[in-house]
Amino acid sequence: MIVGEAIVGGTLRGAYKYENEEENPEGQSTYQWTVDGEVVATTLECRVLAEYAGKTIVFTVTPVAMAGEIGAPVSSPGKLVDSGFQNISDEENTNSFMKQHGNFSFYVPEPADRIFVSTGGAFSLIDPPSSDVFVQGQNDFGALVPESIKTYLQNNPATVLYATERDFGALVPLGPTNQLLVWGRNIPANYDITRLRNLRAVYANGGAFAYIYRTMNAENKWIGAIGGTAFGSVVPDAIHLKLVEDPPRAIYATYDAFAVLTEKGRVYAWGNINSGGSIRPDAQSRLDGMVTRRIISNMSAFCAIDDDGTFVPWGNTTNGGVIPADRLEAILDQGGAKSVIASRHAFCAITKGRAKAVSWGNATQGGNMSANALDFAARGNIVLCRAATWAFCMINAQGQAEAWGVAGSGGTIPRDAEGFVASDDQHPADFGALMQGSGVKPGIHSYFRGKMRDDGVDVNDESAIDAAAARFAQSMDRVTSSLRLANAYVGVYANDTSFFFLAQDEFGLTERLLVWGQANGGGTMPDATRQTLMASQITATYCTNGAYAVLANQGTTEGVVTVWGATLAQLDAGEIPKVPPEIAEKLRRGIIEVYSIKRQPPVNPTTVRVDPSFAARHRDGTYVLWGGNVNNQVFVPEDQGLSPGSTSSLPPMKERSGLRRYSYK
């Protein structure tokens, strides 16, 4: 069978059980992956590339005994490759603060394979060779698995995993259909398991799972939910009735509410009324008059957008559920919203007209721009926007950058060589001041200016620069935190307290690498780390609350992990443990993906640290765990026993899907 979600950007793994009537041990069995019949890989793992979208992928194994006996090839059922998660686009997932891909996550999307997922304090993984599910962590975060479910998963392996903050879900095959098994703090006793059968899609918020059936069930219902009642485990009958004639397309989540988008573009919500679970009558009226195509969420509010730029927020009134009239007018005067980006408690819209930026929500946590940010945003041509937990950063087409909001999780920042300090214990650091004091602005500006020059723009002619920047910004139909600039990739990443700017050439070689924010949360980088990454091909970036990990190729060595940020002593994962020594050894090569075991970011900036961790999947089937809420170790799933010849070769660059190429021409 195929383990993992067939989603662009993920890594699938083939799983099988070798049997031989004469008990001859397995030799070097051979593997083959086909996409619509065309062979694309001959290894146990397969990276899902953008060109596979809309096609069917199949895994085939030909068993080979050590004595040379060759058995008949056996193929898995095919999986249809999707470019997004269950009808939620990469843009919606990236621009939402609460990630929408069925796993408890923030900052950057987790790997799409769904072989490893985490709650706020535990992890669950599928071991492909044995097909067993392993769970470790804190009992109150889902690590205590009922014995009956343990036994069942040993007999009927899961293919995909899901997670809320304190609960896990495992999807298993069941004849021609499937079954969702769930456990954790929010799962009620004696629930009707037949209601969790024949599912097309599964989604998660902080304490409940919502799902869409493949076909309407016997009760004429398209959707359902299970979990804590405070998180939306009961779908109102009125919504069920609406969906009979207009089936659901996807379900979105804030921390404790859900919103369903229908095939006709209508939106209905349920759950905590203070977190988007109830839609104001005026907002529902506007939603009923538009065809919603995208939904972005923060932790307690939603924002729906149509293709014409009409947008409607709802949810917590302080945290972005209501937009002030003057800001609504400013966006509508510019043709509406091109894109919307969410922080924990605020939204920022990039307009369709001159690509201006307008924010609203919690006033001190990104909802109100600083004077410098307001002036910058009014000039328009914004092409990149990334949210940290309580702040935003935006970059325009000329490479000028500005930030606003606060960074205050984990304490104060130290003074730099010039004595600059942006926060103290009572006053969270201002991100605009942190960015200005970091000196990164000239580095971003010069990089974009160089790309202008490469595209033939006269960089000594200000009018030519302005015209080129306007053309560039207007050519973008969406704004997220990454883009293709000519042949280069440019991305901005963030956690609770810092930002990370990365630019790479067409071959994946690092051209520019800049960080800013709190020094104890990833806002500074050791010089040796910088030199190493400048000489590497970075294939993926991951975040915990206060640290970063990058996966890179160094020369001919693939799958190398480098980290920086909050250290082990600070209860985070920005430092690789020296003990046991095999952790560092494993992270030097052969890592396929890195996953984060995040804690929920604090509601407000605080000097108190949370304790997240990283987990890295090695191509030999082991997992490397380190950070604040795990035992630093190399985790070896029981009964692993990888077959000879089962190692895999990674492609030189991980596919960055969904990014159009833009230029100044």
Q: What is the pLDDT of residues 626-657, one digit of tens each?
A: 999 899 999 998 643 322 222 223 233 333 44
User: Among 180, 191, 189, 124, which Cα is nearest to 156's?
Assistant: 180
Starting at the edge strand that comes first in sequence, how are the strands of the sheet with 11-14 ordered? 2-3, 11-14, 45-47
Cα gap 643→27, rounded to integer Å: 7
Mean pLDDT per block of 10 residues along the chain (665 residues) reads 83 84 87 94 88 93 91 91 86 95 89 88 85 88 92 88 96 92 95 93 97 95 97 97 97 98 98 97 97 98 97 97 97 97 97 97 94 95 95 94 78 36 50 80 92 86 88 92 89 94 93 91 94 95 95 95 96 95 96 92 84 93 93 78 28 39 53
The pLDDT tens digits for 266-324 are 999 999 999 999 999 999 999 999 999 999 999 999 999 999 999 999 999 999 999 99
Is residue 168 within 8 Å of residue 135, measured between CB atoms? yes
User: Which pLDDT does position 421 carry in this prediction?
Assistant: 40
User: Which pLDDT does position 85 carry in this prediction?
Assistant: 81
* Residue position matching structure tokens 């302080």: 318
Cα gap 487→485, rounded to integer Å: 6
Cα gap 314→65, rounded to integer Å: 61
The type of residue at 33 is W
Largest Cα span, the chain: 80
User: Which pLDDT does position 658 carry in this prediction?
Assistant: 45
User: Which pLDDT does position 425 carry in this prediction?
Assistant: 42
User: Which pLDDT does position 13 carry in this prediction?
Assistant: 82
Question: What contacts 37, CB < 8 A, 6 or more positions away?
Answer: none
Pairing, β 160-163 against β 132-137 = unpaired
Q: How far is CA 255 from the centre of its chain?
A: 15
User: Which pLDDT does position 418 carry in this prediction?
Assistant: 38
User: Which pLDDT does position 541 carry in this prediction?
Assistant: 95
Cα gap 197→658, rounded to integer Å: 32
pTM, rounded to two decimals: 0.89
User: Which pLDDT does position 652 carry in this prediction?
Assistant: 30
Domains of the chain, CATH where assigned: 2-81 (2.60.40), 526-640 (no CATH)
* Residue position matching structure tokens 């193929």: 75
User: Which pLDDT does position 663 carry in this prediction?
Assistant: 52
Question: CB neighbours (10 Å) of residue 610?
Answer: 22
User: Which pLDDT does position 428 carry in this prediction?
Assistant: 56
Question: What contacts 436, CB < 8 A, 6 or more positions away?
Answer: none
List b or e across 230-266, with b for residues whose CB sees 16 or more CB atoms inside 10 angstroms: bbbbebeeebbebbeeebbbbbbbbbbbbbbbbeebb
User: Among 218, 220, 225, 185, which Cα is nearest to 201's?
Assistant: 225
Report the run of H or E that residue 435 belongs to, with start and end: helix 431-438
Q: What separation in angstroms does the CA of 486 have from each of 19, 90, 205, 459?
A: 52, 21, 37, 17
Cα gap 89→82, rounded to integer Å: 10
Cα gap 69→44, rounded to integer Å: 20
* Residue position matching structure tokens 């229908």: 262
The pLDDT tens digits for 211-232 are 999 999 999 999 999 999 999 9
Cα gap 611→632, rounded to integer Å: 13
User: Which pLDDT does position 576 carry in this prediction?
Assistant: 97
